[in-house]
Every structure is written in structure tokens, then in C-alpha cells.
Amino acid sequence: MTLVRFAPSPTGYLHIGNARPALLNALFARRTGGRFLLRLDDTDAERSTEAFAEAIGEDLAWLGIVPDLFARQSARKAQHDAAAERLRAAGRLYPCYETPEELERRRRRQLGRGQPPIYDRAALKLTAEERAALEAEGRRPHWRFLLEARTVTWDDLVRGPAHVDCASLSDPVLIRADGSYLYTLPSVVDDADLGITHVIRGEDHVTNTGVQVQIFEALDAAVPVFGHHNLLTTADGEGLSKRLGHLSLRGLREAGYEPAAVRSLAVLTGSAESVRAVPDLDTLAGLVDLGEISRAPARFDPAELDGLNARLIHAMPYAEAAARLAALWIPADRAEAFWLAVRANLGRVPEAADWWRVVTGPVEPVLTEPAVIAAARETLPPEPFGPETWKAWTTEIRNRTGAKGRGLFMPLRLALTGLEHGPDLAGLLPLIGRAGAARRLSGETP
């Protein structure tokens, strides 16, 4: 069975760029009848927090992603240690004692000579006595993986035939001098042990894949199928990061965006499919074909998100909006009529609160065209107001004054709402009611 994973570090809130791999993995599992693993890569003890871990679960749930399996990398240190010992025993993991400053000086010399700035494997030439002397100075080794000087190839789910020339790479550091692991080794060990069949991630990991394939092979583990999708950027082409709080999933949720709008834009941008609002995950899964994803960066435009969100709101049935209207303190006995009257003018559900204030007041009426306003006061019909009240009332005003079109409707809108634009007044008038309309037509501010 297909098993994919999303493996964020709980060191900050997820942003829209993280939503892309999370959704592509979840949709791939849904499309193939597979399973989805949420794995918290929380080996960075200083920066990882439980609050961020909980937020990741909340954000995924908001997107509609319910993991089938869950794991924490920090709980698997024994497995990582065992794998490291195997690599040491096989001669593939070796100790290095250079300080960051020494490595930087060496890199600059290489660049000055026109040489590629890759690690020269000087540590492999150290004798046991030299290593002991360095450790006596207080130096502790970091550990590098010995790459084989060959080209690693794979059939990428997104990019097709892909390769990395590992002879052009530095042997990667897998373990820091303080004994903590970098991303690379724990990721391979966990993918292998947990049975991950497909690794779908951003194209910034392509080089990592060349390295990790060699580690999989050195551990005699099955190599998963890889797919590297293009990355989301801002509309200006800037890379996304956790510091862009306004594009965090939490921020988008709190701002009132619909998860379907965020999902649709996060995965359809930069694909062969036209970007449109897709309300459910099953339909979206049927549209997303990894082989049809573009190689070019996918630009995330918040203005496009606004458009998608508005289209979803305009078509949203009352039953879907009811609980959220209740949270805005809109009475249940008036909420459905109110929703149907205002939804076409909303970009996000929370904006309904602004129109509820227009309905209930206080409103500063703007009185223009005295003849129209006088006729409106005189002909204001008795209650109850219904769907046809507005048409009958404005017909009577037109007959009395000769006003029509904008000359008729704009003075009434300004008087009743204090605004030049807004929902159809045929729907708002019954909500404002006769008493409210009479006060506003008289210039009163309740």
C-alpha cells in the first residue's frame, strides 16, 4: 500500500508553502488508496515546541487532512543511533575535527584557486594519534557520510528522469559535534523503518535525494519513489518562510479564508489545471497529477486567493454558514434571510458582521434628493415586509417623483445604509424593518 509522509519541524507555524507538500502528499494518498503519515521532525530540541506541534495538527485539520499515522522523530533516537553505528562500522561515517572557521578558510582558498568548494576529506588522512591529540585539545568530531563518486539516478514523479552527480558534492555532515543529528540521516532511517513508499517534497531537496539514496543503499533499505514539485513563492517571486506570518495557515484561517480556497490555490497554482475553487478533497485529488506540475516556480498571489474565496462564499448555502453566523452573534431567526441577502457582497464570512451592523444600526443616514426622500417617507408601506416590498415601494416613489435608475435608488441606499454600495436592498429592507427605515429616512441616528 502507498504510504506517504509530511514531515514538518515544529519550530514555527505552517505557511502556505508548507500547505503545498502537505496537500500533494495527502491528495496522492487519496488518489492511490494509500495512507498519510504525519511525522514531526522535532530533533531540534531548542527550537521545537509542543505549542507548534499542536498548531501543525490544527492547521492540517483545517485543510481537511486527517493523518492515518503519526510519529515523532525525537522518539526514534535509538533507531538513528543504531543506523549511525552501522554506517561507522561500514566505513561510511567518519569523524572530522575542523572548526567552522577552518572550513571557511579552506573554502575561500579553493574558490580563489578556481576549485569547487567541496570538502577535501582531510579528516580521512588523520592517524589515530592525530585524532587523539585533537580530542585532547577539547575538540569533538562532527561526522560526515562518505559519498561514492557516482551519479545517482531516479525516475521522478514530477520531473521525470533525474540525477545528481555525487562526485561534485561535499560529504554531508550527518552528526554535529554536540552529537545531535542533522535532518538527513533521521529522515532516511524513519522513512525506511516506517515503510514510506513515496517521498513527495519540494524541488529544493533534489540534491538531498542524491545523498539520501546512497544512505538508503548503505543501510540496505528499500529506496522510496521520489517526486520533487515546484515551490510556491510570493507574487514578487520571494521564497516563502515561517517569518511571513501573514501567509501562515493560522493567519489565513483567522482572517476568514475558506480552507477550500487555500487548498485549491496551494496545489493548482503552477500545475496544468486552471486555478479554480474546488470545494472538496476528492475532486481536488482527481485533478492533481504530479506529472503535470510545472517546473517553473508557482507564484502565490493573495489577490487570487481573495477571488477564489469570494466565489466560494457567494455559492455557500446557509446550512454551511449557520454556525459561523451564530459565532458573529447574528440571531438564528433572522440569520438565513440575512445570509441570502448579503453573501454576494462578501469576500469572507466574518465580513457579514459589518453588514449586520448596517441592518441593526446605528447608521449615519446620508439624505440627498429631498423630493425622493420625502416621497419615500410618505409611501413607506406597512409591515410585514416581504420579497416584493422593495419593488412595490420604489415603483410608488418613481410614480410620484419621476425619479428612476440611479437617481431613484442611490438616494434610498444612502439614506437606509449610509453607503454608496452594498447588498440588494430588496433583501436588506425586510431586515432593517419599517421602524428602522422610517428613522433613517428622517435623518435620525438611533
Neighbours of 387 (CB within 10 A): 11
Specify the fold of 3-78+182-232. Answer: Rossmann fold (3.40.50)
- What would the grid cell of residue 68 be? 492515518
Q: How far is Cα 422 from Cα 420, in angstroms, rounded to an integer?
A: 7
Residue 408 pLDDT more than 70?
Answer: yes
- What would the grid cell of residue 257 be? 479564508
CATH for the stretch 88-151+158-175: 3.90.800.10
For the chain, the domains span 3-78+182-232, 88-151+158-175, 234-314, 318-360, 370-441
- Summarize pLDDT for 195-254 with one digit per residue, the tens: 999 999 999 999 999 999 999 999 999 999 999 999 988 777 676 665 555 589 999 999
Q: How do beta strands 232-234 and 298-300 pair?
A: parallel
Nearest to 82 by CA among 181, 208, 197: 181
- Summarize pLDDT for 341-366 with one digit per residue, the tens: 999 999 999 999 999 999 999 999 99
- Which pLDDT score is estimated for 295? 87
Domains 88-151+158-175 and 234-314 share a fold: no
- Which pLDDT score is estimated for 424? 96
- Which pLDDT score is estimated for 241? 62
- What would the grid cell of residue 84 be? 549511525
Instruction: State the average pLDDT for the chain.
Output: 94
Euclidean distance between the first and final Cα of the chain, in Å? 66
Q: Which CATH superfamily is domain 234-314 in?
A: Glutamyl-trna Synthetase; Domain 2 (1.10.1160.10)
Q: By the 8 A CB rule, do 293 and 249 touch?
A: no
Average pLDDT over residues 103-119: 92
Residue bearing the bigger pLDDT, 297 or 430: 430
- Summarize pLDDT for 47-99 with one digit per residue, the tens: 899 999 999 999 999 999 999 999 999 999 999 999 999 999 999 999 999 99
Question: At residue 100, what are phi and psi to the nearest 5 degrees?
Answer: -55, -35
> pTM (2 decimals)?
0.90
Residue 117 pLDDT more than 60?
Answer: yes
